[in-house]
Structure formats: structure tokens, C-alpha cells
Amino acid sequence: MSGIVIALATLSGALGLAVGSFLNVVVHRVPAGLSVVSPASACPNCGHGIRRRDNVPVISWLVLRARCRDCGTGISARYPVVELITGVAFVLVLFRFAPGSTTGWRPLVAGVLILIAFGYLMAVSVALAAIDLDTARLPNAITYPTAVVIAVLLTAAAAIGGDLEACLRAALGAIVLGGAYLVLAVAVPGGMGLGDVKLAVVIGFALAYLGWGPLAVGAFAAFVLGGTFAIGVLIVRAGNRRSGIPFGPWMLAGAWIGVFFGAPLWNAYLSLLGLA
């Protein structure tokens, strides 16, 4: 691994850790309808503001031994976990979408826009998964802006890179996956929420931009993961058929399986059927 690759991976991981720290604020405040900008972060027990030296991702949690410096209240392990997951995820997105050797500025700019789009989607995925697990909600305050940002960035990338077919495919993918989830939400009341439908539109657009294979694999993986988890919950009697199981995290996990492995898995499947 070259020095440049190591440097880029390090910078990407550091950026991910910092973004993960901000996502912890998002996860806590957005469901409560609070601003993510102000006031500054403070201990929810004693109200003391978080010092800068105590706000370093992961390291501060370890140094403080998972306790507030002022009152000693325990700090949830979820904070460093979210930061670590985001840091690692950003590195993976970098390796998946970093523009390679290109001729001319158009492919380079298009590649950078795609990288930014999926980096943004990764950050949103972490936040939405955590919020859905906490509250069984996928807030419009996150889903709507994400739809706009992803659509604008990927459409711009397609226009600059001269790949309008990808843009049209993405729009169709959003309609197909969003429509499928809407049908499920109507046909099985309580099974899917409108938040899942809105998220499906975003996922459908992003995955179909990459190709039909990533969309098919990502959509299928979501139901495999979610179904497996639901069956496990029933087996261990931790829930019943009426207990709500947030599906957003599984939609997002499936989507990223589609992003990273969708194309080769889809091609392997077509080869198995003798269609490729």
C-alpha cells in the first residue's frame, strides 16, 4: 500500500470519526426536534458544557473512563461505537468510490461528486439506523434533505460525466423501490411505515445509479437481514408478532451490501442462470 493511499485512508478515517461525533448529536437531538447547531453539547445530568479536550472522538471516552468529568455520570458506549463505525465506513467508501486514473477533468469531477454523494449517504445511514433503533422513526428532517442532496450530486455527476443513462436508471430505481415499499405499506398495515417508503426512494435512486445489480441485491439483502433478525427475535421470545421491529437499519445494511457487493453477486447469479 503506497504512502498516498495510507495518507488518504488516514484522513478519511479521521474525517469519519469527526463526522461520527457530530452524528451522535444528530441522533440525540433530531428526534426531539432540537437544533443540532446550538446550544453546545453538555452533560445531560449536570448541564456542564463538554470541554474541547473531552470532545475528541473515541479517545476522550477512553480517557474519561466513560464518565462525565464533572459529575461522574456514565457515558454510553454508543458514542464511541458510532464514531468508530463512521470512521471505518468512510475509509470503505473512499476505497469504493475514489476516482482512479482519468483523462480530462470531467471524469475526475464526476467521480468526486459520486464519492461525496455516497460519503454523505453513509453518514446519514449511521444516523438513521441509530434513530430508528431508538425511536422506531425515520425523521423527515433527515430523509427529505438526503433525497435532495443525493439526487443533485448524482445528477450533476451524470451530467458532467456524460452518463445520463445512469441518471435515468436512478430515477426509475427510486420509483420502483419506493413503489414496492408503498404497496407493502398499504397491503400490510403496521408492517412498513411511510418513513420506510421515503427511505426506499433514496436507496432506490442511489443503488440504481450504480446499476440494476446493486439495486436488486440491496433490496433482497434488506429483507433477508430483516427477516432473519425478526425470526431470531421470535425464537428467543424477545418479541411477538405484534412487536414492532424497526426495518430502517436492515434497509440501510442491505443497501450497502448492494453498493459494495451488488455488481459481482448479480453477475454471478446471472451466470448461474446462464444469462451472462
Model confidence pLDDT, tens digit, residues 9-33: 999 999 999 999 999 999 999 999 9
Strands, DSSP E only, in the chain? Answer: none
pLDDT of the residue at 217? 97
Confidence of residue 91 (pLDDT cuts 50, 70, 90): very high
Confidence of residue 3 (pLDDT cuts 50, 70, 90): confident
Confidence of residue 212 (pLDDT cuts 50, 70, 90): very high
Q: Is the pLDDT assigned to residue 1 strictly greater than 60?
A: no
237-254 average pLDDT score: 78
Count of CB atoms within 10 A of residue 247's CB?
28
CA atoms within 13 A on the CB side of 45: 10
Confidence of residue 233 (pLDDT cuts 50, 70, 90): confident
- 67 bridge partner residues: 74
Among 3-12, 145-154, 228-237, 263-272, top mean pLDDT goes to: 145-154
Residue 135 CB-density burial (10 A; 0-12 exposed, 13-18 middle, 19+ buried): middle
37-66 average pLDDT score: 87
The pTM (predicted TM-score) of the whole model is: 0.93
Angle, helices 105-135 vs 78-97, to 10°: value is: 150
- Given the C-alpha cell 397491503, which residue does it identify? 187
Q: Which amino acid is at 149?
A: V
Q: Is the pLDDT assigned to residue 117 strictly greater than 80?
A: yes
Q: Is the pLDDT assigned to residue 199 strictly greater than 70?
A: yes
Q: How does 251-275 read in b/e, with b if 16+ C-beta sit within 10 Å? A: bbbbbbbbbbbbbebbeeeeeeeee
Residue 44 CB-density burial (10 A; 0-12 exposed, 13-18 middle, 19+ buried): exposed
Q: Which grid coordinates belong to 35?
A: 437544533
Q: What is the mean pLDDT of the chain?
A: 91
pLDDT of the residue at 52? 86
Q: Which grid coordinates belong to 67?
A: 464518565
Count of CB atoms within 10 A of residue 181's CB?
25
User: How far is it, in rounded angstroms, from Cα 207 to Cα 118?
Assistant: 10
What is the tens place of the pLDDT at every residue in 69-83?
Answer: 888 889 899 999 999
Q: Is the pLDDT assigned to residue 158 strictly greater than 70?
A: yes
